[in-house]
Amino acid sequence: MRDDVSDATRRASPIDTAGNAVIAKAHAAGRQRRFGQISIEVRRSASFPLRLFALAAALVTGLGLSAFALILVGVPAESLADEFVSATILDPMNFKAVLVQAAPLILVGLAAAMAFRVRFWNLGIEGQMIFGGVGATLVSLLHLGPEWARLPLMGLAAVTCGALWASIPALLKLRLSVNEIISTLLLNYVAYYVLLHLLYGAWKDEDGFPHSPAYAASELLPNLDSGVSVSLVLAGGMTLLMTYLVARSRAGFYMRFVSANPGVARALGLPVANMVLFVVLVSGSLAALAGFVVSSGQEGRLTQSFFPGYGVSGVLIGFLARNNPVAAAVVALLMSVLVIAGQNLQVFYGIPPSMVQLIQAVVVMSVAASDFLVIHRVHWIRYRA
């Protein structure tokens, strides 16, 4: 190197006067001893086998960690498979419980999946469930309509209340761009205290406990002749309806654009705001139906604890199902197996119900983490010897 270069550098930069010295220093620092380095890039597309592999790896990891935790809290390792598979799916009693439990989980999973399709973080599923239950109970308390129409009316009232409650954060977001993550969560607490206000006040049962009077027989969701609850049929019907909406209607086509890129959708003249409002109302209605299904299909009255946990479960189901309605139903069914297994574990081993929550969280974390492999390409760049 010519000497005048370092001289010139000195003139050009008053601060760093190191010329070749810098290079020499860096070289001396032993930088050359490394063998290579990791490079991370965003993939242009991921193949199906890769996606499948990532998902499988995630499930194995998540369930493995969960099994480890269960063993740690005292479940014998050899009976794990028994508790989760044989005792839930193969045992007729428990299998029925799984199906009963699945209905509201499917509905909240659909509620989350639909809202996510228009980039609306609906974390207010529990609040919407509460208002669904409140709406249904209102019809029951007022004895509205003839007996044969009572259940449909209750469902309708539930949907109306849930959709109205969901419209608050939707309008706040669309009109004033109030962040819906916070507003929906805050409204959950408001809904909860409104519920308590009713249950400790005007709607308190004659027995003095803070729950509503029991529903009449005509207000309970019946079982079909085959033993399958109407709740499950309702949830299945909603799954099909949402699949149609998403895959075959023009609204579904628009939703894809709103979800992929709201700015582009707006520039293309698609009715973005109306789509968001419509889908959030649908989401709120689905959550409200879940509240109705739990109240009328399981509890038989409005209680103060029919909803906790469904909100997050719904969000997690929606996420795991990648916002696909059919997948949401499948994941909800599996989640239901987990819940029932958890109940069995509580009975036989005294494992607290929060263990189920923990397992859900761990599995979802694993799946979310596995996306890294799907989205990115990681490779090791080796230096030449």
Partner 1 sequence: MTTFFVTWLATIPQLAVPYALAALGLILSERAGVLNLTAEGLMLVGALASVAVLLTFRPDPLVAMMAGMLAAAAVSVLFSFLVIVLRVNQVIAGLVIVFFCQGLTSLLGNLFGWTSKAFSGLGPVSLGVLADIPVIGPILFRQDVIVYLMIPIVFGVSYLLQRTRLGLRLRAVGESPEAADAMGVSVSMTRFLAVTAGSALVGLAGAYIAVANVKVWIDDMTSGRGWIAIALVIFARWNPWRAAAGALLFGSIQAVIPKLAAAGIVLPQYLLMTTPYLATLGVMIWVSIRHLNGPSDEPGALGQPYVREERR
Partner 2 sequence: MTHSLLELERVSKAFDGFQALDGASFSAAAGEIHALLGENGAGKSTLMNICCGLYTPDSGSLRLAGRETRLSGPREAAALGIGMVHQHFKLVRPFSILDNVLLSRLGSGDRIASAKGERLAMRAAIHEQAAALGGTLDPDARIDSLSIAEQQRVEVIKALIAGARILILDEPTAVLTDQEAEKLMLTLRRLASSGTTVVLVTHKLMDVKRFADRVTILRGGRTVGSIDPKGTALEELTRLTVGETLPTVRETQPVFGRRRLETLGLSVRRADGTKAVDAVSFHVRAGEIYAIAGVSGNGQSELTEVLMGLRRAGSGSVQFEDAGEAVTAADPARLRRYGVAFIPADRYRYALAGGLSVAENYGVGDVARGRYGSWLWLRRGRLRKNAEEALSSFDVQGVRALSQKAALLSGGNAQKLVIAREFSDPPSIIVAQSPSRGLDARATAAVHARLQASARNGAAVLLVSEDLDEAMKLAHRIGVMAGGKLVGEFTAPFDRQQIGGAMVGHA
Binding site for partner 2 (CB under 8 A): 1-2, 4-5, 7-9, 11-20, 22-23, 26-27, 31-32, 34, 37, 39, 41-45, 248-253, 256-257, 260-261, 263-271, 377, 381, 383-384
Name which of partner 1, partner 2, none residue 84 binds, using a CB cut-off of 5 to 8 Å depending on partner kind: none
Task: Please say which residue, 8 or 196, places its beta carbon nearer to partner 1.
Answer: 196
Rounded distance between C-alpha atoms, residue 341 and residue 83, angstroms: 6
The one-letter amino acid at 327: A
Task: Please say which residue, 96 or 266, places its beta carbon nearer to partner 2.
Answer: 266
Residue 223 beta carbon to partner 1: minimum distance, rounded to whole angstroms: 32
Rounded distance between C-alpha atoms, residue 194 and residue 112, angstroms: 23
Rounded distance between C-alpha atoms, residue 297 and residue 107, angstroms: 13
Residue 347 beta carbon to partner 1: minimum distance, rounded to whole angstroms: 15
Task: Please say which residue, 65 or 241, places its beta carbon nearer to partner 1.
Answer: 65
Name which of partner 2, partner 1, none residue 86 binds, using a CB cut-off of 5 to 8 Å depending on partner kind: none
Beta bridge partners of 376: 42
Do 235 and 103 form a contact (C-beta atoms < 8 A)? Answer: yes
Name which of partner 2, partner 1, none residue 209 binds, using a CB cut-off of 5 to 8 Å depending on partner kind: none
Residue 318 beta carbon to partner 2: minimum distance, rounded to whole angstroms: 18
Name which of partner 2, partner 1, none residue 368 binds, using a CB cut-off of 5 to 8 Å depending on partner kind: partner 1
From the list 317, 265, 320, the residue with the least C-alpha distance to 102 is 317
Radius of gyration for the alpha carbons in the chain, expressed in angstroms and rounded:
27
**DSSP 8-state class, residue 12:** H
Task: Please say which residue, 28 or 42, places its beta carbon nearer to partner 1.
Answer: 42
From the list 246, 331, 311, the residue with the least C-alpha distance to 55 is 331
Name which of partner 1, partner 2, none residue 8 binds, using a CB cut-off of 5 to 8 Å depending on partner kind: partner 2
Residue 49 beta carbon to partner 2: minimum distance, rounded to whole angstroms: 16
Residue 238 beta carbon to partner 2: minimum distance, rounded to whole angstroms: 18
Q: Three-state DSSP class for 222?
A: coil
**DSSP 8-state class, residue 90:** I
Name which of partner 1, partner 2, none residue 164 binds, using a CB cut-off of 5 to 8 Å depending on partner kind: none
CA 86-87-88 angle, 5° bins? 95
Residue 192 beta carbon to partner 1: minimum distance, rounded to whole angstroms: 9
Do 308 and 191 form a contact (C-beta atoms < 8 A)? Answer: no
From the list 313, 311, 294, the residue with the least C-alpha distance to 302 is 294
- Which residues form the interface with partner 1 (CB under 8 A)? 39-42, 73, 121, 123, 172, 176-179, 181-183, 185-187, 189-190, 193-194, 196-197, 200-201, 312, 315-316, 319, 352, 354-358, 360-362, 364-365, 368-369, 371-372, 375-376
Q: What is the DSSP string of 73-89?
A: TT--GGGHHIIIIIIII
Task: Please say which residue, 44 or 175, places its beta carbon nearer to partner 2.
Answer: 44
Name which of partner 2, partner 1, none residue 7 binds, using a CB cut-off of 5 to 8 Å depending on partner kind: partner 2
Residue 174 beta carbon to partner 1: minimum distance, rounded to whole angstroms: 11
The one-letter amino acid at 229: S
Residue 188 beta carbon to partner 2: minimum distance, rounded to whole angstroms: 31
Task: Please say which residue, 161 or 270, places its beta carbon nearer to partner 2.
Answer: 270
Rounded distance between C-alpha atoms, residue 194 and residue 198, angstroms: 6
Which token pair is 130? 């509460």
Q: What is the DSSP string of 313-333?
A: HHHHHHHHTTT-HHHHHHHHH
